[in-house]
A and B are shown apart, each in its own frame.
Chain A
Amino acid sequence: DQQVKQNSPSLSVQEGRISILNCDYTNSMFDYFLWYKKYPAEGPTFLISISSIKDKNEDGRFTVFLNKSAKHLSLHIVPSQPGDSAVYFCAANTPYGNKLVFGAGTILRVKS
């Protein structure tokens, strides 16, 4: 049972445009959400997070939006740069949960 779903395996955007990566979840107990970025043959690195008490969190070019009623979150990258090309994982946790649950990832390709 996939509790965190990233339904788009890949996304291709032009440099300078907006990249929007989507994530859906089924467990209504999730209250903390994170995005990780991963380059090939490297470990994931933390990008940005959001608590369920917020609906938006921004960090430079990266913004995460949370829609609790739809159980949906999205990561916006503006403007997209070639160095953003990577796999992006969405992850979630419950209050006092002892592990993160990850989605399958979305490959982002930013074309110059």
Chain B
Amino acid sequence: DGGITQSPKYLFRKEGQNVTLSCEQNLNHDAMYWYRQDPGQGLRLIYYSQIVNDFQKGDIAEGYSVSREKKESFPLTVTSAQKNPTAFYLCASSNSPYPGELFFGEGSRLTVL
């Protein structure tokens, strides 16, 4: 079955710690995305990558970092510089650099204690 796998589903972090969220896809899609969901604010784009070894900042990239060393993988690191990291994080992919439909993973809930 093709799809997007995010892990972990739930994660707790102490303030000041970096944490990395995993995103793997076997859809053979070139483009991958990280969104953040907060109540009442919809989905906001953090970073996206249209091809291996290249990525672009989205609307709220501060305090986050990504890498795209393999087509299948697009991990997101939430650094200690992110002032309000508690949120639901969603990874998505698309078979087009000009996305119509995005395919989403199940999401990762990060809570900072």
Whether a CB of chain A sits under 8 angstroms from the CB of B75 is: no
Distance A96 CA – B35 CA, assembled complex (angstroms): 20
Chain A nearest CB from B80 CB (Å) reads: 26
Query: For this complex, into which size category does the number of interface residues on chain A fall?
Result: 20 to 34
Distance A109 CA – B4 CA, assembled complex (angstroms): 28
**Segment at the B interface, from A14-22, A54-62, A100-108:** A100-108
Chain B nearest CB from A107 CB (Å) reads: 10
Contact call B42/A100, Cβ cutoff below 8 A? no
Distance A97 CA – B109 CA, assembled complex (angstroms): 28
Q: A44-B90, A98-B48, A99-B48 are in contact. Are A34 and B42 (CB under 8 A)?
A: no
Q: A44-B43, A102-B43, A104-B40 are in contact. Are A96 and B98 (CB under 8 A)?
A: yes
> Which secondary structure dominates where chain A touches chain B?
loop
> A44, A46, A95: which has the most chain B beta carbons within 10 Å?
A44
**Segment at the A interface, from B11-19, B62-70, B100-108:** B100-108
User: What are the interface flags for B10-39 relative to A under an 8 Å C-beta threshold, 1 for contact and 0 otherwise?
Assistant: 000000000000000000000101010000
Contact of A44 among B44, B50, B104 (CB under 8 A): B104
Whether a CB of chain A sits under 8 angstroms from the CB of B2 is: no
Which B residues between 78 and 107 are near A, CB-CB below 8 angstroms?
A: 88, 90, 92, 97-107
State the 3 A-B residue pairs at the shortest beta-carbon distance, nearest first.
Answer: A43-B104, A104-B42, A102-B43
